[in-house]
Structure 1
C-alpha cells in the first residue's frame, strides 16, 4: 500500500476540515504534547512521554505502512484562518489484507478537539478508504473494540455506523474490563 495516501473530511458548520495522512517524524513534538492528556493516556496502549518515545511510535507507524499490517493516519485540522494545521487525532486500520474478510479500526482524539465531531468524521473517512482499498481483496467488515467504560468511544462507534455486536470478556492486565465489539459491514 502506498504510504502517500491522504484522506479528507469536509468542514462542518462548527468544525474545520480534516486531513488524514500517514504519520511522519515532523509530528513528534505535537504527538508528545497531545499525550500529556491524562484521559488519552488512560486509553492508550503505549505511553509517549518524550521525543524519543514519540519517534519510536511514529517509526512503528511507518513500519506498519511498509509491511501493510497497520495503516495509521495523523488527523490534522485545517484552520479557517492563517494558523498552521494542528494535530487533533489518530485513526488506524489494522489487519487488512488479501483474503481477510475483516480488519480492525481504532482512533483517539486530542483533548482540545473532543466534542467537535473529529473522531466520527475521521473514522468515516478511514472506513470509506478501507472498503474502497480492500474490498477487492475480500474485506467485508470492520471491527471497532473499546473498553466497556469508554462511553465516548461507544458514541463515536454508533455515530459512525458501527453496530454493537457483543460484549467481550476482560483479559487482564491489558484489558482489565469487559469490552464492546462494534462491527460495520460493507454496504453493497
Structure 2
C-alpha cells in the first residue's frame, strides 16, 4: 500500500487482465517517460514529459496534488498472475473533489488500448470518488471534440454527453465536449 493509503482494483474481463490503481511513485518515472513517447499520449495529455527528469517532476506534482487534496492521480497497472506490481497501462485522476466542479481525466498507454483499460479504470475511480466523498453529487469529464475514443469511454462509464465547450485558445485551442455522471440514487 502506498503512503496515501488508497488502492483501487478493477476486475479482469474475458479479454483483459485485472487492473490496480495506486498513486504515482518516483520509481514510476522511467516507465512514465516511455509511455509519453507515444504520440497519442502527447497529443491528448496536457502534460509535457520529454524524458525521465520531466517524468519525475510530473510524478512529484501528482504527489503534491495528493498532499493538498486537489488532484488525486493514480497510475493504472495491469496485473497478471505472477506479476509483482503490474505493468503501467495508463493514468486516471480526480481533480478538485471538494470544489464546485469536480472533474475526472485519464489517458491510456499505447500497448493497453482496445482492451477496456480506460473504461474499467475510470469506472473504478468514479465509484471510489462517489464513495469516498459524501458531498460529491456529480463528476465532469472534458475532452477535445475530435477525440472520439474519449466519447466512447465516457459513454461506456455512464458519463452522458452534456454539451459543447467552446474553444479557449491558447490553452484549449479547439471545441470540447462535456460529459457528466451523477451520484447514483
For this structure pair, what is the TM-score category when the shorter chain's length is used for normalisation? over 0.9
Report 1:1-188 matches (<5 A): 3-80=4-81, 85-97=86-98, 100=99, 102-135=101-134, 138-188=135-185
What is the distance in 2 between the residues matched to 1:101 and 1:133? 16
In the alignment, structure 1 segments of 5+ residues that lack a partner are: none
CA 1:168 to 1:66, structure 2 compared with 1: closer, same or farther past 3 Å? Answer: same
TM-score by length of 1: 0.94
How many residue pairs end up in the alignment?
183
Q: Render the CA deviation track for 1:67-94: whole Å, top value 9, x for unaligned.
A: 0001000000002355862000000000
Does the CA contact (< 8 Å) of 2:7 and 2:20 recur in 1? yes
Compute the TM-score of the two structures, normalised by the length of structure 2: 0.95
Contact kept in structure 2, 1:101 and 1:140, CA below 8 Å? no
After superposing on structure 2, the runs of 4+ consecutive aligned residues of structure 1 that deviate more than 2 Å are 80-84
CA RMSD for the aligned pairs? 1.3
SS in 1 for 2:141: strand
- 3-state DSSP of counterpart to 1:30: helix
CA shift for structure 1 position 22:
0.3
